Chain A
Amino acid sequence: MTEPARGLEALHLHLWRGDRHVLKGLSFSVGPGELVHVRGPNGVGKTSLLRTLAGFLYPEEGEVRWCGQPIGADRDGYAAALAYLGHDNGLKGDLSARENLRYALGLRHAVDPAAVTATLERLGVGAVADLPARSLSAGQRRRVALARVALARASLWLLDEPFTNLDAAGSAAGAELLLEHAAGGGMALLTAHGELEAIHRPRRLELA
């Protein structure tokens, strides 16, 4: 089988968390333009899978490959191509939404303030962009975190429950970002409880 030149591959992942065998020989690949919806009941290991793919957790067996290379081979290069959104939004409560994005993105590339403003407005948090993130609602903070992902110039998005706390409009805006990302050749893995109706038939990866 020929490997895709660009893309993420998981090969026979076995992951143990304490006594629990969470991932049991999981293999899949994600290519450019693909959106993958990771599904499964609570506690089945969706977050563990995403954290393994992000390189935080080391699988006991198997490996994760990016563009045909194990992710450990060029950790920083892989991280530069990756945008990760975990349970925590990665926002500093004492900084405003705009400052949060400026500093978080500034670690990766030169920041375009106009693009930051545009993305925040698109996600409906333009009006509160200069308030401390602490004073925003949980949904608004999630939207700011999604803006960070969208602005990270990453080709692979790993999103853990990206639509938690989001209302219908927020979810729709997030789904639109995902579709645009995929249309531009990007790829994304996301976990979500419900059906992703806004995304037309995403690929599904069932964990059991």
Chain B
Amino acid sequence: MNGAGASVVSPGQAALVLISRELRLAWRRWGQSLHPVAFFLMVTTLFPLALSPESAQLRSVAAGVVWVGALLSSLLALETLFRADLDDGTLEQVVLSGQPLAALMLAKTLAHWLVSGLPLVAATPVALGALAVPAVAFGPIMLGILLGTGVLSFLGGIGAALTLGTRRGSVLLSLLILPMAMPVLIFGARAADLAVRGEPAGGGLLLLTAMLVLTVTLAPLATAAAVRICLE
């Protein structure tokens, strides 16, 4: 009756199955999936209208605007990370799949980033263009957003799992995640600002990379533990 040796899937294969399920679900609900990136584009492109059409002034705030937009948009996307899975019982099934839960949480968070973080990276040039940032700065800033949204997704995974037990956990989630997200915002925005001024931004990007490595390796373990707690 037990799964016979040859047909048992490895944790890696199971992770791929979970990622493909998440991507298919995101595709089926594309309107909901696009919500965070639409929010990001609205925030960043409304600034030139509200602030001033003067390029120099826009350029001086561009890094901060793009990064705050990305941070808030990431927080917005986090609420949906585990909530639906908890409500329909699929989270229980994932926990009882017989696979290491941390591997599946890594897959789940990665899929979440692919759906919510990657579109932000793709939308960044539009925002930067609206904020009169020179095109040479696009590369480093997009790289920063790529790394930063990754860190935020993995940090946020812990928060989203921890706040599952509370109905309306979104305020609590923000309170929990924002302090941990501050270093990402500070280094990311600083690196972006340096890039806008045409100075080397490598230092900040390396720090973001280090944070990403740290969160990718450790956050899934914490997320898995938090998910087990919330199912209790």
Contact = CB atoms under 8 A, between A and B. Distances in A.
Contacts of A185: 1
Nearest to A158: B96
Interface string A182-196: 001110000000000
A88 interface: yes
Contacts of B54: none
Contact of A107 (B2, B7, B94): B94
B89 interface: yes
Interface in A143-198: 148, 153-155, 181, 184-186
The 9 A-B residue pairs whose C-beta atoms are closest, nearest first, are A88-B89, A80-B98, A107-B97, A90-B89, A106-B17, A103-B21, A155-B1, A94-B28, A110-B7
A204 interface: no
Given A103-B17, A104-B97, A153-B3, 15 more contacts: A56-B231, A56-B232, A76-B99, A80-B8, A82-B96, A86-B89, A87-B89, A88-B89, A89-B88, A89-B89, A99-B24, A106-B14, A107-B98, A110-B9, A153-B4
Contacts of B100: 76
Contacts of A95: 21, 24-25, 28
B89 A77 contact: no
The A interface, classified by DSSP as helix, strand, loop or mixed, is loop
Interface in B75-123: 87-90, 92-101, 104
Interface of B: 1-4, 7-9, 14, 17-18, 20-21, 24-25, 28-29, 87-90, 92-101, 104, 231-232
Interface string A47-91: 000000011111000000000000000001101111010111111
B102 to A, nearest CB: 11
Contacts, number: 107
A153 B89 CA distance: 20
Given A95-B25, A104-B93, A57 B88 contact: no
A93 B85 CA distance: 11
A81 B4 CA distance: 11
A23 to B, nearest CB: 15
Contacts of B101: 76
Given A76-B98, A110-B9, A92 B87 contact: no
A118 to B, nearest CB: 17
B28 A108 contact: no
Nearest to A155: B1
30 contacts: A56-B231, A58-B232, A77-B98, A79-B95, A79-B96, A81-B2, A86-B89, A88-B88, A90-B90, A91-B89, A92-B90, A93-B88, A95-B28, A99-B21, A103-B20, A104-B93, A106-B9, A107-B9, A107-B93, A108-B3, A108-B8, A108-B98, A109-B3, A109-B7, A148-B93, A153-B2, A154-B2, A155-B2, A181-B1, A186-B1
A22 to B, nearest CB: 13
B98 A153 contact: no
A93 B84 CA distance: 10
B88 A108 contact: no
Given A88-B87, A89-B89, A153-B1, A109 B8 contact: yes
